[in-house]
Amino acid sequence: MTLTVSLPAADRDPEGGAVSTALATVLGARQDDPRSVPPFQLIDEDGEPTALGVSIGIDLNLAQEMHADMVLARRLDSEALALQRQGELHLWLMSWGQEAAQVGSVRAVRDSDMIFPSYREHAVALCRRIAPADIMRQWRGVSHSGWDPAESKVHINSLVLGTQTLHATGYAAGVRMDRSDDVVLTYFGDGSASQGDVNEALNWAAAGSLPVLFFCQNNQWAISTPTHTQMRTPLHVRAAGFGVTGYHVDGNDAMAVHAVTQYAAEQVRGGAGPALIEAQTYRLAGHSSSDDPKRYRTEDDLAAWLKKDPIVRLERFLRRAGVEDAHFEDLAAREEAFAATVREQCKALRGDDLAAVFDQTYAEAHPVMDREKAEFLGRRDRTVA
């Protein structure tokens, strides 16, 4: 039995969710105990299946696909950071180390499920077939956003902490009124969890029993503030205070993230109300290209988390499962070609003429904008002797 195939009727949840009895037993209980529970894990740090991973089964094909997604996402990250250092991008927010949390979760929901990201979900965007150019467009400063949310079902980046969770909750209210069975997935970090917006979103979603799946990537740092300083109670425990089901998962175990997200999403889809997943991961890079993490964290701390690298972990599992070298060789070639594409697409990005701003301020023609546009064009086109 695997985590992703359709199961026989005997193995289906009585309410219709396509999950195994073993998985439902592990994940079905609400986390309303004030004590934290260990994160759910299917593959350990050495790439070995845990006892639970053995009993439930791990889909090898899915593991290979997600490993490839994670490798490409990390290469986008490294190329974009290099481009920022070369002056091609004004800023870059790194997702290095958080690939499993993002790929595992986004691959566990339907393509029709709307996603509201923050500003670090590059792997999510790639999995939704958003081009590297569109991911980098905003950071190059050529547009206010990079892609059409209607096409990808991914809302544009939210740079103000936590606002996307309220947007997701409002969108979910519309989903409910449309009588759709779609789920709304929204990402935020442990730092954002201290924002009023996130707490308001959790409360509104619970009060309205809205189909929202809140996904917290707890990367251990709210810029320079460690999680243990920022909060006394784990997020997956705090969820119960809002009336939201909480789940705790190893965010560096892509297969575990996929299993938990798939299960939680189906519960939300079936009318159980909103849920929150806390994925324990780590931001291996700085908060952004403007941040120096050496000022607030130790080399020992970084080294300990490097041993939990989600890509290394999944590759070890795949190799031990018998995946041939050809797979990794082909992926390496694909990665290099992808890197060249990232560089080419970035340098080809051009912004609209600044005059377009005057046309986009109001939905309809506006005399003040018309006058200011004419003045701007007159100054810009003036020839100085």
Residue 32 confidence (pLDDT) = 56
On whether both 121 and 163 belong to a single domain, the answer is: yes
Cα separation, 269 vs 168, in Å, equals 15
Would residue 245 count as lying in a domain? yes
Total-model pTM:
0.87
Band of residue 12 on the pLDDT scale cut at 50, 70, 90: very low
Element (H, E) at 214: strand 212-218
Phi then psi dihedrals of residue 174, to 5 deg: -65, -40
Residue whose tokens read 């529970």: 37
* 137 shares a domain with 23: yes
How far apart are the two ends of the chain, measured CA to CA in Å? 78
pLDDT at 171: 98
Q: Which long-range contacts (CB under 8 A, 24 or more apart) does 132-137 make?
A: 132/76, 132/338, 132/341, 132/342, 132/345, 132/346, 133/345, 133/346, 133/348, 133/349, 135/76, 135/80, 136/80, 136/83, 136/89, 136/342, 136/345, 136/346, 136/349, 137/349
Token match 């400063």: residue?
141
Q: How far apart are alpha carbons 261 and 284 in whole angstroms?
A: 23
The answer to whether residues 277 and 247 touch, using CB atoms and an 8 Å cutoff, is yes
Q: Are strands 184-189 and 245-250 parallel, antiparallel or unpaired?
A: unpaired
Residue 4 lies in a domain: no
Q: pLDDT by residue (tens digit) across 121-157? A: 999 999 999 999 999 999 999 888 889 999 999 999 9
Give the pLDDT score at 125.
Answer: 98
66, 272 contact by CB (below 8 A): no
Distance CA 235, CA 96 (A): 22
pLDDT tier for residue 359 given thresholds of 50, 70 and 90: confident
Please check the confidence at residue 239 and state whether its pLDDT lies above 90.
yes
The range of the structural domain enclosing residue 116 comes to 9-348
Query: Is residue 373 domain-shared with residue 272, that is, in the same domain?
Result: no
pLDDT for residue 31: 54
Do 304 and 210 share a structural domain?
yes
Q: Are residues 383 and 290 in the same domain?
A: no
Choose the weakest-confidence range: 12-21, 211-220, 351-360. 12-21
Average pLDDT on 111-116 reads: 98
Q: Where are the alpha helices (DSSP H) in 280-324?
A: 299-306, 310-320
Reduce the DSSP state of residue 279 to 3 states and report it: strand
Alpha helices of the chain — where are they, by DSSP H?
A: 21-27, 51-56, 60-85, 99-106, 122-127, 132-140, 149-152, 163-177, 196-207, 227-230, 235-242, 254-269, 299-306, 310-320, 325-348, 356-360, 367-380
Please report how the helices 325-348 and 310-320 are oriented relative to each other, as an axis angle in degrees rounded to 10.
150
Query: Do 17 and 104 belong to one domain?
Result: yes
Mean of per-residue pLDDT scores for the chain: 90
In terms of domains, do 125 and 163 share one? yes
Residues 382 and 301 in one domain: no
Check whether residue 224 and residue 359 sit in a common domain: no
Output phi, psi for 278, to 5 deg. Answer: -105, 115
CB-based burial label for 78 (10 Å; 0-12, 13-18, 19+):
middle
Answer for the pair 263, 200: CB distance below 8 angstroms, yes or no.
no
- Please tell me the distance from the alpha carbon of residue 254 to that of residue 256, in angstroms, as a whole number: 6
Query: How many structural domains does the chain have?
Result: 2
Residue 20 binned pLDDT confidence (cut-offs 50, 70, 90):
low
Residue 255 near residue 53 (C-beta atoms within 8 A)? yes
Specify whether 256 is located in the same domain as 367.
no
Is the pLDDT assigned to residue 267 strictly greater than 80? yes
Instruction: Give the pLDDT mean for 341-352.
Output: 93
Tell whether 1 is covered by a domain: no
Q: Does some domain include residue 96?
A: yes
Distance CA 287, CA 292 (A): 8
> At 305, which CATH number?
3.40.50.970
Query: CB under 8 Å to 38, separation ≥6 — which residues?
Result: 248
| Residue 299 identity | E
Residue 22 confidence class, pLDDT cut points 50, 70, 90: low
Within-domain flag for 23: yes
Report yes or no: 262 and 42 within 8 Å, Cβ to Cβ.
Answer: no
Comparing 28-42, 78-92, 302-316, 318-332, the range with the smallest average pLDDT is 28-42
Q: What is the pLDDT of residues 167-207, one digit of tens each?
A: 999 999 999 999 999 999 999 999 888 889 999 999 999 99
Within a domain: residue 242?
Answer: yes
Q: How far apart are CA 279 and CA 253, in angstroms?
A: 9
pLDDT of residue 5 exceeding 50:
no
* 342 and 285 part of one domain: yes
Q: How far apart are CA 255 and CA 273, in angstroms?
A: 24
Rounded-to-integer distance, Cα 106 and Cα 258, Å: 8
